[in-house]
Chain A
């Protein structure tokens, strides 16, 4: 059994920051053009399901990590295969996050090469993970205040430059909305599957389920509002061609002497982005720990950090390659894995519990007769 390091509130904050941090750089559901906000709302339903599945699994097998439950309910062979698939999904998502942040940092520090920026980003993350999960939880509580204030402030500042005609026509192409919904479901909403690995560390989970869902819905609300803001300010065409739509939006915003609002946005991008990397990095450590049945996950922090630096450089040598892999091919793999991983384990866990109940009800009369 894991020790309880996180409060339900810290876990809810984790969900909120994970969703915001992983998707703030780009526009969620952007293939749906002016209906991206609708795709975001619909895509969030997939995340609700994943959240339900992981909490239900944890209720069936309390105090155990999902990677251990998978080997218990599916057998060692099948469970390990599923865990390997999850590892690859988490790894590809994590290096995409890392590339996103580096791409953003490159626009601010153009003279610093990526080879230097990657270790500069990964080593502080290693340090933070060495400090433990409690530190991660507390860091989230600090970050959420700053990022929420800046996000709300930014949306309010954007109100004068809102052009609601940019949001029309509503529901023009159902294909685009469906595609946007599926993309939004994969990124960022299905990514909450990683939080299944943190569930055994959350105290009083059963009593605070509403808190956890509220963290999720707050993030959905903020992402939808940001989608609406970006499209209403930039329009669908400009949004599609800009690399960082929110960055472009924040550059448009400004009232008289109050200019350069993009620096505020850069701050929340960076801090929420780092937090997302931390959560995924820790999740990857847990998976590797369970795959190799190690006593501690801390021993893999530095070797996996080195892998992250090298593989991000190796797999994404340039932005073109990243755009192709990260936006076209990776979602085809990560979406079904992140969705089906908890589904298969939940079905197997329910089936096994049912079988156990049936076998115990069959053996009980015998026990009674022998006694």
Chain B
């Protein structure tokens, strides 16, 4: 299943190059180009990590699980079930 993500990413990259990169380069909007390129690279890096199943990159869920103790104490306080 993961190789299918390769096609999806390729589709996004192609559309991005055709729709944004060329006009931005022609307009010499280098800042826009750098920011959008950086976001695209981030998606690509995590996409490749997902496809390879290597899990080399930090999982963003880490930022969510930080709140586990708070969530547990809330559930304990209000006796939330389920």
Q: Determine if B82 and A116 form an interchain contact, defined as CB atoms under 8 angstroms apart.
A: no
| Contact present for A303 and B36 (CB under 8 Å) | yes
Chain B residues with CB below 8 A from A176, complex form: 78-80
CB pair B64–A329 under 8 Å, yes or no, is yes
Q: Are A325 and B11 in contact (CB under 8 A)?
A: no
Q: Which residues of B contact A178 (CB under 8 A)?
A: 78
Assembly CA distance A115 to B50 (angstroms) = 11
A325-B71 contact in complex given A294-B31, A304-B39, A310-B50, C-beta closer than 8 Å: no
Question: Closest chain A residue to B47 by CB distance?
Answer: A310
How far is it, in angstroms, between the C-alpha of A295 and the C-alpha of B36 when the chains are bound? 12
In the complex, what's the smallest C-beta–C-beta distance from A182 to chain B, in angstroms?
8
Produce 1/0 per residue, A95-136, CB < 8 A to B. Answer: 000000000000000000101101100010010000000000
Q: Cβ of A305 < 8 Å from any Cβ of B?
A: yes
Interface check A232, CB cutoff 8 A: no
User: CB distance A31 to B82 under 8 Å?
Assistant: yes
Q: Considering the complex, which residues of chain A in the window 142-194 have a beta carbon less than 8 Å from any beta carbon of chain B?
A: 173, 175-176, 178-179, 182
Number of interface residues of B (CB under 8 A): 47
- A34: CB under 8 A from chain B? no
Q: Main SS of the interface on chain A? A: helix
Q: A115-B2, A296-B32, A311-B43 are in contact. List 9 more A-B contacts (CB 8 A).
A: A113-B4, A115-B5, A175-B77, A176-B80, A310-B50, A314-B46, A328-B68, A329-B65, A332-B74
Interface, chain B (partner A; CB < 8 A): 1-2, 4-5, 8-9, 11-13, 15-16, 19-20, 24, 29, 31-32, 35-37, 39-40, 42-44, 46-47, 49-50, 59-61, 63-65, 67-68, 70-71, 74-75, 77-82
* Chain A to chain B: the 9 pairs with minimum beta-carbon distance, closest first: A303-B39, A306-B43, A179-B78, A306-B12, A332-B67, A119-B8, A303-B40, A115-B4, A302-B16
The residues of A with any CB-CB pair to B shorter than 8 Å are 31, 88, 92, 113, 115-116, 118-119, 123, 126, 173, 175-176, 178-179, 182, 240, 288, 292, 294-296, 299-300, 302-307, 309-311, 313-315, 321, 325, 328-333
